Chain A
């Protein structure tokens, strides 16, 4: 892959849920992928030793609400209210080559957030549901 230089999340970054592009509504994304650190230090050791344990993954997004059929309320509500898994894809780079993918579910949903005159902006956490966690792919 050619060098793409330092990145800015912006017009060519995309965020899709089950193939529906809601990038216009997404204002902030954080992908979290972690492994437990399992302490396997023996009694006789004087330095701690770890091995990787279970992975965990989530994608946190700040999203402006929209009420059209392909807009956040319908897309995300469909996952939450119907207890469905959705494939979330985040394509952050300007070359459009890197994509992070996770099959996920939403376990809490606040479809309206804000005071009078505020942007109706909601926080959504997509939790890992598949066995693969977050995968990083290139195209």
Chain B
């Protein structure tokens, strides 16, 4: 189900002008700075990455009853030194919450039952002396 769900989530985020305005310049070949699993080379900061972390289908006797998935959706920024601000990713996280918690998404072939922010994710990261900021959340999505 990942393709349909991924497209639904992407579509929801990409269509939100407020969210898109918080993002950097997309990488070549992309229209929005929203990426699945990881950002491509040349992606401008900040951007959003999202990926499915778990999926738990449940079944009735007759077949699949509900799909229960956890998606990590977060903003990633690389503040230009000497700035260490996390404002950009925190603003993205807040907008994601406003947009997705109880937000309606259109999952092709399925019916959404639940979408809410479940657990916040926020941490710094340093790679080769460059500091990155991450902020977002795990979102639980239930559909059938």
Find out whether the CB atom of B62 lies under 8 angstroms from the CB atom of A64. no
Q: From A63, which residue of chain B is reached at the shortest CB distance?
A: B60
Chain B: which residue is nearest A90 at the CB level? B61
**B50 CB to nearest chain A CB (Å):** 20
Cα distance A42–B61 when bound, in Å? 49
Q: How far is the CA of A21 from the CA of B62 in the complex (A)?
A: 9
How extensive is the interface on chain B, given as a class? 10 to 19
B66 lies within 8 A of chain A by Cβ: yes
Residues in B with CB closer than 8 Å to A25 are 60, 62, 65
Q: How many A-B residue pairs have CB under 8 A?
A: 39
Q: Interface SS of chain A: helix, strand, loop or mixed?
A: mixed
Q: Which of A8-16, A44-52, A74-82, A124-132 contacts B (4 or more CB under 8 A)?
A: A8-16
The bracket for how many chain A residues form the interface is 10 to 19
Which B residues are CB-close (under 8 A) to A9? Answer: 61
29 A-B pairs within 8 Å (CB atoms) are namely A9-B61, A10-B59, A10-B61, A11-B61, A14-B61, A14-B62, A15-B61, A23-B60, A23-B61, A24-B60, A24-B61, A24-B62, A24-B65, A25-B60, A25-B62, A25-B65, A26-B62, A27-B58, A27-B59, A27-B60, A27-B61, A27-B65, A64-B65, A64-B66, A117-B114, A117-B116, A117-B140, A119-B58, A119-B66
